[in-house]
Structure 1
Amino acid sequence: MPSSDHRRPFSDQPSLTSELLVLTDVAVRAPAVILRAKDRPPQQRRELARQMRDRTDYLILASMIDPSADGVHLAGFDRYPKGYPGIVGRSCHRLEEVRQAELEGVDYVTISPVFATASKPGYGPPLGLRGLGRIARQAHVPVYALGGIDVGRVAACRDAGASGVAVQGAVARSPSPEDTIAAILEEWRSG
């Protein structure tokens, strides 16, 4: 678990130990956050990352490496950062992409879309729980279910074999993001 100043000590084999990744463009309090804000200039993203540091145990930046973060989350087209000591995750949409990410050495993958979602409309038909389970069973790294994940679908993703869930829209649309995050965590941990 993270140290008292929220910076996780790294070893030669970093790992992410959270059942929930929150993809966000704004500051929220959550166990693990993938800070996106890709439309902002790098300096603004770095400043937002510094503001997020005390709100999360694991701060991961989308497609950007910064010393304030615990890791980087790569899009499918991003180059793998060889020699980077932090957590490295990658967005995947098919088993073949997961296999390639594993060969690169990622610590985890997100797989999407599991359900239909407005946030990921161009990535093919939803995999569904059966597709998620098939990929999770064959993966050698933790698989986080992404796409259409909301309260009421979390336990099904866990039961299908996901190591955790990743949410964006459910939190972004919520009038109370931290209550939504708490409800998702509660559902994951129940049963």
Structure 2
Amino acid sequence: MVAHLTVARVAEGLGVAWDTANNAVLAEGKRLLINDPTRFEGVKVIGVDEHVLRHTRHGDKDVTVIIALTPVRDGAGPARLLDMVEGRSKAAFKTWLADRDDAFRDAVEVVAMDGFTGFKTAPAEKIPDAVTVMHPFHVVRLAGDALDRRRRPQGAHRAHHPGPDPEEASR
């Protein structure tokens, strides 16, 4: 974890099987992160997003990832992982918020997320004073997608107007 190595590289370096290295990494991650009660101290800005942890023959294994963005906002350092919760749903995030104490929920000022409705409604119900915002990455992606849908096929423009397409140039 500290050296940002993949499990495969750790296993190779230690000369053990992938499963053995993975179990050790998970145990150490739990010891350093999940069992650390101070990880929630000073958190005022959180980010939430989904991640496909594993692709299986029977569908994807989605998790909800919650990170502390306070250090980024305050210019004090990088974001840090707070937790990962199984599933990608309003219920998963709402349950995670409900499991936090009142002091934590009262301290959260901002929740950054993608456009998933469940992620927006969960904080509205559990931390109603927090402002919900869309993470800048998702704003830019949505704007780019909207431009792509609106853009005319280049051939259609050139058939009627020779020369450069002003919409393509502005994009």
Tell me, yes or no, whether TM beats 0.5.
no
Of structures 1 and 2, the one with the larger relative CO (CA 8 A, separation 6+) is 1
**Whose radius of gyration is greater, 1 or 2?**
2
Q: TM-score, normalised by structure 1?
A: 0.27
TM-score scaled by length of structure 2: 0.29
